Amino acid sequence: MEPLNNREYATHMDADDPLRHFRGQFHLPLTPEGEPQIYFCGNSLGLQPKNAKQYVEEELQDWASLGVEGHFRARHPWMPYHELLREQTAALVGALPQEVVVMNTLTVNLHLLMVSFYRPTQERWRIITEEKAFPSDQYAVASQARFHGFDPENAIVEIPLGEDGRFSSDTIFETIDRHRDDAALLLLGGVNYYNGQYFDIAGITAAAREAGITVGMDLAHAAGNVPLRLHDWGVDFAAWCSYKYLNGGPGSTATCFVHERYAERPDLPRFAGWWGHDASTRFAMPPHFHPMPGAEGWQLSNPAILPLAALRASMDQFAAAGMDRLREKSLKLTGYMESLLFDRAHPSWSILTPGEPEQRGCQLSLRVREGGHDLFRHLAAKGVICDWREPDVIRVAPAPLYNTFDEVRRFVEIFHAFFADTD
């Protein structure tokens, strides 16, 4: 067996990869010399599927030739267009088809869902979230608390980070138990955007619901990255964007999940719009709102077809690859990267992401104590696209749909070379 850091080993792993042909289905950014860059930034913006152009152009052609009739006569009629994504989306996150709907953008969906599921009382009003959650989530929960007349400083309970920059399971469950009598909602990122930690969603959901706390999930860094079983786990609601691991394009349409137990609950308070109204009477233009059953009852407006077309192109790739196979390759890629990095450990850096494979997805967050900005520029100059998060973290995400073992090997060589040159 060749040493792990040999090109021959990486080449062998790529040759044996059953998903290797999916790489050819995506456009790869090129260096000035015309060579593919090492793109490890799918946790921020996924690459463009090659068939996205065809899918979008079909809708542009139908719009040009049919005008408004495209709603009914397009090759994929626009009226029910969002339904084309229903089955694939449900399969991706372990949901029933009626539990998901592609609509709006992520934080819009979180607000719409919190209108229904954050129902504070004088006894239960707190919102539990993780410390240093993604800023948009922090702003959203604070504004929801304030909207209901509560001081966010008192209403929001943060699960504290440990000294190692990670969240311990004991601390999460202790926080839930401590607030079993005053918390109304737990809103958690399924995978923490900063340290890359994949939470025990099943266990956390069970503990929170046993305590009478409604459970919501922001799955922006989880959907298309890690295996999800939202229905079986009993999550009350969730939302996620589609431009990261799901490769839907910049600012692409997001998705929400509402558990089946709420499918026939027209009494739930919600902000209503005509596209969420009962489809059988929608065009009768009735004066009173009657929501569709399931997640579709939270829709507001008719969907944007062109972004949905681009997302369809990527979802076809996910359906063909399957999350189980993607997860298997992802674990191998990050495990390989971790092994190569630790082969030449250096006191200037450490891995912030948990070492346990079941507690991480595609992303490894590298904490650089000195010279982080210089290292980030060094990587970019050598054709590596990753991202920087203040104050000291470089996030690196080899995505199994289009990244290779040899790219991991080359990245680690470039990474180690920086420290060799600066010692």
- What are the helix (H) ranges across 35-118? 52-66, 70-73, 86-93, 106-117
Do 64 and 35 belong together in one domain?
no
Residue with token string 């077309």 = 309
Give φ, ψ of 272 to 5 degrees. -100, 150
| C-alpha span between 12 and 222 (Å, rounded) | 29
Give φ, ψ of 367 to 5 degrees. -90, 120
For residue 287, give the CATH number of its domain.
3.40.640.10
What pLDDT score does 5 carry?
75
| C-alpha span between 113 and 338 (Å, rounded) | 38
What pLDDT score does 421 carry?
74
Choose the final residue of a domain: 294, 319, 344. Answer: 319
Do 332 and 352 belong together in one domain?
yes
User: 232 with 133: CB under 8 angstroms?
Assistant: no
- Residues 173-194, mean pLDDT to the nearest whole number: 98
Q: Is the pLDDT of residue 423 over 80?
A: no
Q: Work out the mean pLDDT of the chain and round it to a whole number.
A: 96
What pLDDT score does 6 carry?
85
The one-letter amino acid code at 28 reads L
Of residues 1 and 232, more confidence is placed in: 232
User: 191 with 226: CB under 8 angstroms?
Assistant: yes
Q: Is the pLDDT of residue 259 over 90?
A: yes
Tokens in use for 103?
Answer: 């609509």
| C-alpha span between 35 and 296 (Å, rounded) | 44
The three-state secondary structure class of 65 is: helix
Choose the final residue of a domain: 268, 293, 319. Answer: 319
DSSP state of 35: P
Q: What is the pLDDT of residues 292-343, one digit of tens each?
A: 999 999 999 999 999 999 999 999 999 999 999 999 999 999 999 999 999 9
What pLDDT score does 4 carry?
76
Do 225 and 264 belong together in one domain?
yes
Q: Is the pLDDT of residue 372 over 60?
A: yes
Do 313 and 334 belong together in one domain?
no
Q: What is the pLDDT of residues 137-159, one digit of tens each?
A: 999 999 999 999 999 999 999 99
Residue 1 pLDDT grade (very low, low, confident, very high; cuts 50, 70, 90): very low
Do 108 and 190 belong together in one domain?
yes
Do 309 and 388 belong together in one domain?
no
Residue 21's CB is within 10 A of a number of other CB atoms, namely 10
Identify the sign of the CA torsion 228, 230, 235, 239.
Answer: positive
User: 45 with 250: CB under 8 angstroms?
Assistant: yes
| C-alpha span between 198 and 179 (Å, rounded) | 23
- 321's CB contacts (< 8 A; 6+ apart) are 19, 22, 400, 401
Which percentage of the chain shows pLDDT scores above 70? 99
The three-state secondary structure class of 191 is: strand
Q: What is the pLDDT of residues 218-250, one digit of tens each?
A: 999 999 999 999 999 999 999 999 999 999 999
Question: How many structural domains are present in the chain?
Answer: 2
Do 200 and 218 belong together in one domain?
yes
- Residues 106-111, mean pLDDT to the nearest whole number: 98
Choose the final residue of a domain: 276, 293, 319. Answer: 319
Tokens in use for 421?
Answer: 């040159």
Of 87, 66, 86, 88, nearest to 77 (Cα)?
Answer: 66
Residue with token string 């939270």 = 298
Residue 345 pLDDT grade (very low, low, confident, very high; cuts 50, 70, 90): confident
The three-state secondary structure class of 268 is: coil
Do 43 and 127 belong together in one domain?
no
Residue 2 pLDDT grade (very low, low, confident, very high; cuts 50, 70, 90): low
Q: What is the pLDDT of residues 195-225, one digit of tens each?
A: 999 999 999 999 999 999 999 999 999 999 9
Do 268 and 293 belong together in one domain?
yes
User: 290 with 278: CB under 8 angstroms?
Assistant: yes
Do 21 and 117 belong together in one domain?
no
Q: Is the pLDDT of residue 183 over 90?
A: yes
| C-alpha span between 53 and 48 (Å, rounded) | 9
- Residues 117-141, mean pLDDT to the nearest whole number: 97
Structural domain boundaries, residue 294:
56-319
Do 276 and 412 belong together in one domain?
no
